[in-house]
Amino acid sequence: MDQPLPRKLAAEFLGSLLLAALVIGSGIAAQRLSPADTGLQLTENAAATAAGLFALILMFAPVSGAHFNPAVSFVDAAFGGLSWRHALAYLPAQVAGCIGGAILANLMFSASAVSISTTHRATAAHGLSEVVATVGLILMIFSLVRSGRAERAPAAVGAYIGAAYWFTSSTSFANPAITIGRMFSDTFAGIAPASVPLFLGAQVVGGGLALLLVRTLYPGVTAAQAVDVVLPHPAASASR
């Protein structure tokens, strides 16, 4: 039986909140534990994010699909796996959750509840990195779904994001909601408001390119197969 929309929105809000708290909180911890070693800070932040994201997807996927990411939700809607009404409803829940997670992370480390980031990331290399990171994330998720391996998505998403921290100069935000949330923490994981439009634009471009690539590589998949993002939705499982 499919979950009612309010329950899905609660799951997307809570999952997004915990994701932002995870990314930013582990960044603050890394910055304090390894103040003189940026490489070690990134290692600690990436490892915590990869492991935590895996757990969060397992936790919330049976309710909402565990998107936590407007790019994933809108591509899912384009494939028919999620209604456009639900995708539009997911968006504010995901953004609000990520902003709340940033505030929570700040408070857990005795910082001001809101501190606007001063970390500028708006370069051509960062923009290209966000296109690549977003394409890779969405292509990986929907490739698994369309090849009948959706149950591997939680581990694969965590592994991909952990790796993309390192092979992209932007450290792979790949998520408009988390990009907005990270503005509200002037810490290791933050992003200055002036850099956000570039990241959001690059993520939209990456989502569009990924949609075309998935259609090219995995054509002819039905809407029933598309709903298994990021784990099989209850409605999809019940209909089989």
Q: Inform me whether the pLDDT recorded for 240 exceeds 70.
A: no
Q: What is the pLDDT of residue 138?
A: 97
- Cβ atoms of 162 and 92 within 8 Å: the answer is no
Residue type, 139: L
Please report which confidence band the pLDDT of residue 33 belongs to, taking 50, 70 and 90 as the band edges: very high
Q: What is the pLDDT of residue 1?
A: 54
Q: What is the pLDDT of residue 219?
A: 87
Region 21-40: mean pLDDT is: 96
Q: Inform me whether the pLDDT recorded for 8 exceeds 70.
A: yes
Rounded to an integer, what distance in angstroms lies between the CA atom of residue 9 and that of residue 28? 28
- Domain ranges (residues) in the chain: 5-234
Region 13-40: mean pLDDT is: 97
Q: Which residues does 30 contact at the CB level (< 8 Å), separation at least 6? A: 40, 41, 42, 43, 44, 45, 48, 188
Region 56-67: mean pLDDT is: 96
Rounded to an integer, what distance in angstroms lies between the CA atom of residue 76 and that of residue 130? 19
Q: What is the pLDDT of residue 223?
A: 52
Q: Exposed, middle or buried by CB within 10 Å (0-12, 13-18, 19+), for 197? A: exposed
What's 5-234's CATH class? mainly alpha
Q: Inform me whether the pLDDT recorded for 239 exceeds 50.
A: no
% of residues, the chain, pLDDT over 90? 88
Rounded to an integer, what distance in angstroms lies between the CA atom of residue 80 and that of residue 163? 29
Q: What is the pLDDT of residue 230?
A: 58
Q: What is the pLDDT of residue 235?
A: 44
Mean pLDDT of the chain: 92
Q: Inform me whether the pLDDT recorded for 236 exceeds 50.
A: no
Q: Which residues does 128 contact at the CB level (< 8 Å), separation at least 6? A: 202
Rounded to an integer, what distance in angstroms lies between the CA atom of residue 173 and that of residue 74? 17
Region 194-211: mean pLDDT is: 98
Region 66-94: mean pLDDT is: 96
236 or 226: which carries more pLDDT confidence?
226
Region 88-112: mean pLDDT is: 98
Q: What is the pLDDT of residue 2?
A: 80
